[in-house]
Structure 1
Protein backbone atom coordinates (compact mmCIF):
# COMPACT_ATOMS: atom_id res chain seq x y z
CA UNK A 1 0.00 0.00 0.00
CA UNK A 2 1.34 3.42 -0.97
CA UNK A 3 2.08 5.93 1.75
CA UNK A 4 0.15 8.44 -0.34
CA UNK A 5 -3.09 6.52 0.08
CA UNK A 6 -5.69 7.86 2.49
CA UNK A 7 -5.90 5.51 5.47
CA UNK A 8 -9.45 5.05 6.75
CA UNK A 9 -11.01 3.60 9.90
CA UNK A 10 -14.67 2.55 9.89
CA UNK A 11 -16.42 2.41 13.28
CA UNK A 12 -19.95 1.02 13.40
CA UNK A 13 -21.53 -1.63 15.59
CA UNK A 14 -23.31 -3.19 12.59
CA UNK A 15 -21.03 -5.57 10.71
CA UNK A 16 -23.02 -5.30 7.48
CA UNK A 17 -22.80 -1.52 7.59
CA UNK A 18 -19.02 -1.70 7.98
CA UNK A 19 -18.79 -4.18 5.13
CA UNK A 20 -20.82 -1.95 2.83
CA UNK A 21 -18.79 1.15 3.62
CA UNK A 22 -15.53 -0.79 3.23
CA UNK A 23 -16.57 -2.08 -0.18
CA UNK A 24 -17.30 1.45 -1.40
CA UNK A 25 -14.25 3.14 0.11
CA UNK A 26 -11.81 0.43 -0.97
CA UNK A 27 -12.98 0.79 -4.56
CA UNK A 28 -11.09 4.09 -4.79
CA UNK A 29 -7.46 3.69 -5.85
CA UNK A 30 -6.21 6.39 -3.47
CA UNK A 31 -8.09 5.21 -0.36
CA UNK A 32 -7.68 2.12 1.82
CA UNK A 33 -9.67 0.92 4.82
CA UNK A 34 -6.94 -0.17 7.23
CA UNK A 35 -9.03 -0.82 10.35
CA UNK A 36 -12.54 -1.41 11.68
CA UNK A 37 -14.06 -0.94 15.12
CA UNK A 38 -17.43 -1.76 16.66
CA UNK A 39 -17.42 0.90 19.40
CA UNK A 40 -16.16 4.40 20.17
CA UNK A 41 -13.43 3.32 22.60
CA UNK A 42 -12.13 0.77 20.10
CA UNK A 43 -12.00 3.46 17.41
CA UNK A 44 -10.02 5.77 19.69
CA UNK A 45 -7.56 2.99 20.48
CA UNK A 46 -6.94 2.36 16.78
CA UNK A 47 -6.39 6.05 16.02
CA UNK A 48 -3.90 6.35 18.85
CA UNK A 49 -2.06 3.16 17.91
CA UNK A 50 -1.68 3.75 14.17
CA UNK A 51 -1.89 6.48 11.57
CA UNK A 52 -5.47 7.03 10.50
CA UNK A 53 -6.16 9.87 8.09
CA UNK A 54 -9.96 9.72 8.23
CA UNK A 55 -12.14 8.04 10.85
CA UNK A 56 -15.73 7.34 9.80
CA UNK A 57 -17.68 7.04 13.06
CA UNK A 58 -21.22 5.92 13.65
CA UNK A 59 -22.90 8.23 16.15
CA UNK A 60 -24.70 5.66 18.26
CA UNK A 61 -22.91 2.45 19.21
CA UNK A 62 -23.79 0.32 22.26
CA UNK A 63 -20.18 -0.13 23.31
CA UNK A 64 -19.45 3.62 23.38
CA UNK A 65 -20.79 6.24 21.01
CA UNK A 66 -19.07 8.22 18.29
CA UNK A 67 -19.58 11.56 20.03
CA UNK A 68 -17.25 10.76 22.91
CA UNK A 69 -14.90 9.07 20.48
CA UNK A 70 -14.73 12.17 18.26
CA UNK A 71 -13.67 14.28 21.23
CA UNK A 72 -11.06 11.75 22.35
CA UNK A 73 -9.64 11.39 18.85
CA UNK A 74 -9.39 15.17 18.50
CA UNK A 75 -7.44 15.24 21.76
CA UNK A 76 -5.26 12.14 21.41
CA UNK A 77 -4.85 11.84 17.63
CA UNK A 78 -5.29 15.39 16.29
CA UNK A 79 -4.01 14.50 12.81
CA UNK A 80 -6.99 12.20 12.26
CA UNK A 81 -9.99 13.80 10.55
CA UNK A 82 -13.29 12.61 11.99
CA UNK A 83 -16.43 12.27 9.87
CA UNK A 84 -19.67 11.13 11.46
CA UNK A 85 -21.96 8.57 9.81
CA UNK A 86 -25.49 9.71 10.50
CA UNK A 87 -29.12 10.05 9.49
CA UNK A 88 -31.07 13.30 9.24
CA UNK A 89 -32.80 12.49 12.52
CA UNK A 90 -29.49 12.62 14.37
CA UNK A 91 -28.42 16.12 13.37
CA UNK A 92 -28.47 17.34 16.97
CA UNK A 93 -25.80 14.77 17.81
CA UNK A 94 -23.70 15.79 14.83
CA UNK A 95 -23.68 19.37 16.10
CA UNK A 96 -22.14 18.15 19.34
CA UNK A 97 -19.53 16.17 17.42
CA UNK A 98 -18.57 19.24 15.39
CA UNK A 99 -17.97 21.20 18.55
CA UNK A 100 -15.65 18.38 19.60
CA UNK A 101 -13.63 18.80 16.41
CA UNK A 102 -15.31 16.51 13.85
CA UNK A 103 -14.79 17.62 10.27
CA UNK A 104 -18.38 16.93 9.27
CA UNK A 105 -20.83 14.20 8.48
CA UNK A 106 -22.15 11.96 5.72
CA UNK A 107 -25.57 10.38 5.59
CA UNK A 108 -25.73 6.61 5.80
CA UNK A 109 -27.63 6.51 2.52
CA UNK A 110 -24.99 8.59 0.73
CA UNK A 111 -24.10 7.23 -2.70
CA UNK A 112 -20.68 5.69 -3.40
CA UNK A 113 -19.36 8.70 -5.34
CA UNK A 114 -20.31 11.16 -2.60
CA UNK A 115 -18.91 8.96 0.16
CA UNK A 116 -15.55 8.70 -1.59
CA UNK A 117 -15.58 12.44 -2.23
CA UNK A 118 -16.32 13.04 1.47
CA UNK A 119 -13.32 10.96 2.54
CA UNK A 120 -11.04 12.84 0.15
CA UNK A 121 -12.35 16.23 1.31
CA UNK A 122 -11.89 15.30 4.96
CA UNK A 123 -8.34 14.09 4.34
CA UNK A 124 -7.59 17.41 2.67
CA UNK A 125 -8.93 19.33 5.67
CA UNK A 126 -12.17 20.42 4.00
CA UNK A 127 -15.53 20.26 5.73
CA UNK A 128 -17.83 17.48 4.60
CA UNK A 129 -20.98 19.59 4.53
CA UNK A 130 -22.98 20.92 1.64
CA UNK A 131 -24.30 24.51 1.76
CA UNK A 132 -27.87 23.48 2.59
CA UNK A 133 -26.81 21.02 5.26
CA UNK A 134 -24.44 23.53 6.82
CA UNK A 135 -27.12 26.20 7.04
CA UNK A 136 -29.89 23.90 8.25
CA UNK A 137 -27.76 22.11 10.80
CA UNK A 138 -26.17 25.17 12.34
CA UNK A 139 -29.28 27.35 12.36
CA UNK A 140 -31.42 24.55 13.80
CA UNK A 141 -29.10 23.28 16.49
CA UNK A 142 -26.38 25.82 17.22
CA UNK A 143 -28.09 29.20 17.22
CA UNK A 144 -30.36 30.65 19.85
CA UNK A 145 -29.82 30.97 23.63
CA UNK A 146 -26.88 28.55 23.63
CA UNK A 147 -24.72 30.63 21.29
CA UNK A 148 -21.13 31.02 22.40
CA UNK A 149 -20.79 34.46 24.05
CA UNK A 150 -17.32 35.04 22.61
CA UNK A 151 -18.27 34.60 18.95
CA UNK A 152 -18.49 38.31 18.12
CA UNK A 153 -15.15 39.22 19.76
CA UNK A 154 -13.45 36.36 17.91
CA UNK A 155 -14.78 37.61 14.58
CA UNK A 156 -13.68 41.14 15.50
CA UNK A 157 -10.06 39.95 15.37
CA UNK A 158 -10.33 39.48 11.62
CA UNK A 159 -9.64 41.89 8.78
CA UNK A 160 -12.45 42.87 6.40
CA UNK A 161 -11.17 40.43 3.79
CA UNK A 162 -10.99 37.62 6.34
CA UNK A 163 -14.54 38.33 7.54
CA UNK A 164 -15.76 38.09 3.96
CA UNK A 165 -14.07 34.71 3.58
CA UNK A 166 -15.48 33.58 6.94
CA UNK A 167 -18.99 34.54 5.80
CA UNK A 168 -18.64 32.29 2.77
CA UNK A 169 -17.23 29.49 4.92
CA UNK A 170 -20.37 29.85 7.01
CA UNK A 171 -22.44 29.40 3.87
CA UNK A 172 -20.72 26.07 3.26
CA UNK A 173 -18.55 27.07 0.30
CA UNK A 174 -15.33 25.20 -0.46
CA UNK A 175 -12.01 26.98 -0.97
CA UNK A 176 -12.43 26.82 -4.74
CA UNK A 177 -15.94 28.26 -4.54
CA UNK A 178 -14.77 31.05 -2.23
CA UNK A 179 -11.97 31.90 -4.64
CA UNK A 180 -14.43 32.08 -7.53
CA UNK A 181 -16.93 34.20 -5.60
CA UNK A 182 -14.31 36.71 -4.44
CA UNK A 183 -12.26 36.64 -7.66
CA UNK A 184 -9.10 35.56 -5.86
CA UNK A 185 -6.76 32.59 -6.22
CA UNK A 186 -7.46 29.33 -4.42
CA UNK A 187 -4.11 29.72 -2.64
CA UNK A 188 -5.19 33.13 -1.38
CA UNK A 189 -8.48 31.71 -0.12
CA UNK A 190 -6.58 28.96 1.73
CA UNK A 191 -4.20 31.51 3.24
CA UNK A 192 -7.13 33.62 4.46
CA UNK A 193 -8.76 30.54 6.00
CA UNK A 194 -5.54 29.52 7.73
CA UNK A 195 -5.25 32.96 9.34
CA UNK A 196 -8.94 32.87 10.30
CA UNK A 197 -8.55 29.53 12.08
CA UNK A 198 -5.48 30.77 13.94
CA UNK A 199 -6.99 34.10 14.99
CA UNK A 200 -10.28 32.57 16.12
CA UNK A 201 -8.68 29.48 17.71
CA UNK A 202 -10.74 27.07 15.58
CA UNK A 203 -9.65 23.50 14.82
CA UNK A 204 -11.22 23.39 11.35
CA UNK A 205 -13.52 25.21 8.92
CA UNK A 206 -16.64 23.66 10.44
CA UNK A 207 -15.90 25.26 13.79
CA UNK A 208 -15.20 28.53 11.95
CA UNK A 209 -18.59 28.24 10.24
CA UNK A 210 -20.23 27.77 13.62
CA UNK A 211 -18.57 30.94 14.95
CA UNK A 212 -19.71 32.84 11.85
CA UNK A 213 -23.31 31.84 12.47
CA UNK A 214 -23.11 32.43 16.23
CA UNK A 215 -21.72 35.93 15.64
CA UNK A 216 -24.61 36.74 13.30
CA UNK A 217 -22.23 37.24 10.38
CA UNK A 218 -24.68 35.67 7.95
CA UNK A 219 -27.65 37.71 9.12
CA UNK A 220 -29.61 38.58 12.26
CA UNK A 221 -29.02 36.21 15.16
CA UNK A 222 -31.89 33.84 15.80
Structure 2
Protein backbone atom coordinates (compact mmCIF):
# COMPACT_ATOMS: atom_id res chain seq x y z
CA UNK A 1 0.00 0.00 0.00
CA UNK A 2 1.51 3.33 -1.07
CA UNK A 3 1.05 6.10 1.49
CA UNK A 4 1.57 9.86 1.74
CA UNK A 5 2.08 11.37 5.19
CA UNK A 6 0.67 14.91 5.46
CA UNK A 7 1.72 16.65 8.68
CA UNK A 8 3.55 19.89 9.38
CA UNK A 9 5.78 18.42 12.11
CA UNK A 10 8.95 16.88 10.61
CA UNK A 11 9.73 14.77 13.68
CA UNK A 12 6.25 13.30 13.70
CA UNK A 13 6.45 12.48 9.99
CA UNK A 14 9.83 10.83 10.58
CA UNK A 15 8.40 8.72 13.41
CA UNK A 16 5.49 7.52 11.29
CA UNK A 17 7.76 6.85 8.31
CA UNK A 18 10.11 4.79 10.50
CA UNK A 19 7.17 2.82 11.90
CA UNK A 20 5.78 2.03 8.45
CA UNK A 21 9.29 1.12 7.36
CA UNK A 22 9.22 -1.85 9.75
CA UNK A 23 6.40 -3.45 7.72
CA UNK A 24 6.46 -5.34 4.44
CA UNK A 25 3.16 -4.03 3.10
CA UNK A 26 3.13 -0.28 3.86
CA UNK A 27 5.28 2.00 1.72
CA UNK A 28 5.70 5.76 2.25
CA UNK A 29 5.97 7.38 -1.19
CA UNK A 30 5.85 11.03 -0.10
CA UNK A 31 5.63 13.52 2.74
CA UNK A 32 3.75 16.83 2.79
CA UNK A 33 4.17 19.64 5.30
CA UNK A 34 1.13 21.67 4.20
CA UNK A 35 -2.34 21.16 2.81
CA UNK A 36 -1.39 22.52 -0.60
CA UNK A 37 1.63 20.22 -0.80
CA UNK A 38 -0.55 17.26 0.17
CA UNK A 39 -2.83 18.00 -2.78
CA UNK A 40 0.08 18.35 -5.18
CA UNK A 41 1.72 15.12 -4.04
CA UNK A 42 -1.55 13.21 -4.15
CA UNK A 43 -2.13 14.30 -7.74
CA UNK A 44 1.43 13.46 -8.76
CA UNK A 45 1.94 10.18 -6.88
CA UNK A 46 -1.60 8.72 -6.77
CA UNK A 47 -1.12 6.85 -3.47
CA UNK A 48 -3.51 4.30 -2.07
CA UNK A 49 -3.94 6.25 1.16
CA UNK A 50 -3.14 9.65 2.67
CA UNK A 51 -2.44 9.97 6.40
CA UNK A 52 -3.84 13.45 7.03
CA UNK A 53 -3.36 15.87 9.89
CA UNK A 54 -6.07 18.52 10.33
CA UNK A 55 -4.21 21.70 11.21
CA UNK A 56 -1.50 22.50 8.67
CA UNK A 57 -0.31 25.63 6.84
CA UNK A 58 -2.43 26.54 3.84
CA UNK A 59 -5.59 24.53 3.29
CA UNK A 60 -6.53 22.54 6.39
CA UNK A 61 -6.62 18.78 6.36
CA UNK A 62 -10.39 18.52 6.21
CA UNK A 63 -10.63 20.73 3.14
CA UNK A 64 -7.77 18.81 1.51
CA UNK A 65 -9.57 15.55 2.31
CA UNK A 66 -12.70 16.86 0.61
CA UNK A 67 -10.77 17.82 -2.53
CA UNK A 68 -8.90 14.53 -2.68
CA UNK A 69 -12.02 12.43 -2.29
CA UNK A 70 -13.87 14.44 -4.93
CA UNK A 71 -11.04 14.29 -7.46
CA UNK A 72 -9.70 10.81 -6.65
CA UNK A 73 -12.42 8.70 -5.00
CA UNK A 74 -10.16 5.62 -5.18
CA UNK A 75 -7.70 7.23 -2.74
CA UNK A 76 -8.58 6.71 0.91
CA UNK A 77 -7.90 9.27 3.65
CA UNK A 78 -7.19 8.45 7.29
CA UNK A 79 -7.22 11.44 9.65
CA UNK A 80 -4.36 11.29 12.18
CA UNK A 81 -4.64 14.22 14.56
CA UNK A 82 -4.64 15.56 18.11
CA UNK A 83 -8.15 17.02 17.72
CA UNK A 84 -10.87 14.93 19.35
CA UNK A 85 -13.77 17.43 19.34
CA UNK A 86 -17.07 16.47 17.72
CA UNK A 87 -16.90 19.21 15.10
CA UNK A 88 -13.57 17.97 13.74
CA UNK A 89 -14.72 14.34 13.71
CA UNK A 90 -18.01 14.93 11.91
CA UNK A 91 -16.69 17.44 9.39
CA UNK A 92 -13.86 15.04 8.54
CA UNK A 93 -16.35 12.24 7.93
CA UNK A 94 -18.52 14.54 5.82
CA UNK A 95 -15.43 15.44 3.80
CA UNK A 96 -14.94 11.77 2.95
CA UNK A 97 -12.33 10.53 5.42
CA UNK A 98 -12.68 6.80 6.01
CA UNK A 99 -11.09 6.83 9.45
CA UNK A 100 -10.19 9.07 12.39
CA UNK A 101 -7.34 8.13 14.71
CA UNK A 102 -5.73 10.18 17.45
CA UNK A 103 -1.98 10.76 17.58
CA UNK A 104 -1.75 9.16 21.01
CA UNK A 105 -2.75 5.80 19.50
CA UNK A 106 -0.19 3.07 20.02
CA UNK A 107 1.82 1.68 17.10
CA UNK A 108 -0.28 -1.46 16.66
CA UNK A 109 -3.51 0.53 16.57
CA UNK A 110 -2.12 2.90 13.95
CA UNK A 111 -0.85 0.10 11.72
CA UNK A 112 -4.14 -1.78 12.02
CA UNK A 113 -6.10 1.39 11.25
CA UNK A 114 -4.05 2.09 8.13
CA UNK A 115 -4.59 -1.45 6.85
CA UNK A 116 -8.31 -1.35 7.60
CA UNK A 117 -8.86 1.98 5.82
CA UNK A 118 -6.69 0.81 2.94
CA UNK A 119 -8.97 -2.18 2.52
CA UNK A 120 -12.04 0.05 2.43
CA UNK A 121 -13.22 -0.30 6.01
CA UNK A 122 -14.00 2.57 8.37
CA UNK A 123 -12.06 2.90 11.61
CA UNK A 124 -12.08 5.21 14.63
CA UNK A 125 -10.07 5.51 17.82
CA UNK A 126 -12.00 3.83 20.63
CA UNK A 127 -12.97 7.00 22.50
CA UNK A 128 -14.02 8.68 19.23
CA UNK A 129 -16.22 5.68 18.41
CA UNK A 130 -17.83 5.80 21.86
CA UNK A 131 -18.62 9.50 21.51
CA UNK A 132 -20.17 8.93 18.08
CA UNK A 133 -22.35 6.18 19.51
CA UNK A 134 -23.49 8.49 22.34
CA UNK A 135 -24.20 11.25 19.84
CA UNK A 136 -26.37 9.15 17.56
CA UNK A 137 -28.12 7.32 20.41
CA UNK A 138 -29.06 10.51 22.27
CA UNK A 139 -32.82 10.87 22.87
CA UNK A 140 -34.84 13.34 20.86
CA UNK A 141 -34.99 16.86 22.33
CA UNK A 142 -37.75 17.40 24.83
CA UNK A 143 -40.73 19.29 23.40
CA UNK A 144 -41.63 22.41 25.47
CA UNK A 145 -45.22 22.16 24.24
CA UNK A 146 -45.46 18.77 25.90
CA UNK A 147 -43.53 19.70 29.04
CA UNK A 148 -44.66 23.03 30.54
CA UNK A 149 -41.67 23.01 32.90
CA UNK A 150 -39.49 23.76 29.89
CA UNK A 151 -41.70 26.34 28.24
CA UNK A 152 -39.60 29.32 29.35
CA UNK A 153 -36.38 27.97 27.88
CA UNK A 154 -35.12 29.22 24.55
CA UNK A 155 -34.21 26.78 21.77
CA UNK A 156 -30.52 27.25 22.57
CA UNK A 157 -31.10 26.66 26.30
CA UNK A 158 -32.97 23.45 25.48
CA UNK A 159 -30.07 22.26 23.35
CA UNK A 160 -27.64 22.98 26.16
CA UNK A 161 -29.88 21.28 28.71
CA UNK A 162 -29.86 18.15 26.54
CA UNK A 163 -26.07 18.20 26.45
CA UNK A 164 -25.85 18.74 30.21
CA UNK A 165 -28.04 15.68 30.68
CA UNK A 166 -25.72 13.74 28.35
CA UNK A 167 -22.81 14.60 30.64
CA UNK A 168 -21.02 17.12 28.43
CA UNK A 169 -18.82 19.81 29.94
CA UNK A 170 -19.12 23.46 28.88
CA UNK A 171 -16.10 23.01 26.61
CA UNK A 172 -17.67 19.97 24.94
CA UNK A 173 -20.97 21.80 24.50
CA UNK A 174 -19.09 24.72 22.99
CA UNK A 175 -17.41 22.46 20.42
CA UNK A 176 -20.60 20.57 19.59
CA UNK A 177 -22.82 23.63 19.14
CA UNK A 178 -20.11 25.87 17.65
CA UNK A 179 -20.54 28.63 20.23
CA UNK A 180 -18.10 30.14 22.72
CA UNK A 181 -17.59 28.69 26.19
CA UNK A 182 -18.72 32.04 27.61
CA UNK A 183 -22.00 31.80 25.69
CA UNK A 184 -22.50 28.28 27.01
CA UNK A 185 -21.88 29.45 30.58
CA UNK A 186 -24.37 32.32 30.22
CA UNK A 187 -27.03 29.99 28.85
CA UNK A 188 -26.40 27.46 31.61
CA UNK A 189 -26.87 30.18 34.23
CA UNK A 190 -30.09 31.34 32.56
CA UNK A 191 -31.61 27.89 32.28
CA UNK A 192 -30.79 27.05 35.89
CA UNK A 193 -32.61 30.19 36.98
CA UNK A 194 -35.61 29.48 34.79
CA UNK A 195 -35.85 25.88 35.98
CA UNK A 196 -35.28 26.99 39.58
CA UNK A 197 -32.62 24.38 40.22
CA UNK A 198 -29.33 24.80 42.05
CA UNK A 199 -26.88 23.19 39.65
CA UNK A 200 -26.30 21.15 36.50
CA UNK A 201 -26.96 17.84 38.24
CA UNK A 202 -30.39 18.97 39.37
CA UNK A 203 -31.15 20.25 35.87
CA UNK A 204 -30.21 16.87 34.40
CA UNK A 205 -32.34 15.04 36.98
CA UNK A 206 -35.28 17.33 36.24
CA UNK A 207 -35.06 16.60 32.52
CA UNK A 208 -34.91 12.86 33.21
CA UNK A 209 -37.90 13.06 35.54
CA UNK A 210 -39.88 14.95 32.90
CA UNK A 211 -39.06 12.29 30.33
CA UNK A 212 -40.06 9.49 32.70
CA UNK A 213 -43.48 10.92 33.41
* Superposition TM-score tier, normalisation by shorter sequence: 0.5 to 0.7
User: Which of 12, 17, 20 is residue 22 of structure 1 equivalent to?
Assistant: 17
Q: Rg larger in 1 or in 2? A: 2
Q: Which runs of 5+ in 1 are unaligned?
A: 1-5, 146-222
Give TM-score scaled by structure 2 length.
0.60
CA distance in 2, matches of 1:63, 1:144: 39
The 5 A counterparts of 1:1-222 are 6-129=1-124, 133-137=128-132, 139-140=134-135
| CA offset digits 1:156-212 (Å, max 9, x no partner) | xxxxxxxxxxxxxxxxxxxxxxxxxxxxxxxxxxxxxxxxxxxxxxxxxxxxxxxxx
Q: Figure out how many residues of one structure are paired with residues of the other and give that number.
A: 140
Alpha carbons of structure 1 residues 23 and 131: separation in structure 2 relative to 1, 3 Å: closer
Partner secondary structure for residue 63 of structure 1: coil
Contact 2:99 2:124 in 1 (8 A): yes
| Secondary structure at 1:18 match in 2 | helix
Aligned partners of 1:38 and 1:63 also within 8 Å: no
RMSD: 2.3
Deviation at 1:88, TM superposition (A): 5.0
Relative contact order (C-alpha < 8 Å, sep 6+): which is higher?
A: 1
> Residue 115 of structure 1: CA displacement?
0.9
* Runs of at least 5 residues in structure 2 that lack an aligned partner in the other structure: 141-213
Distance 1:20 1:120 in 2: 18
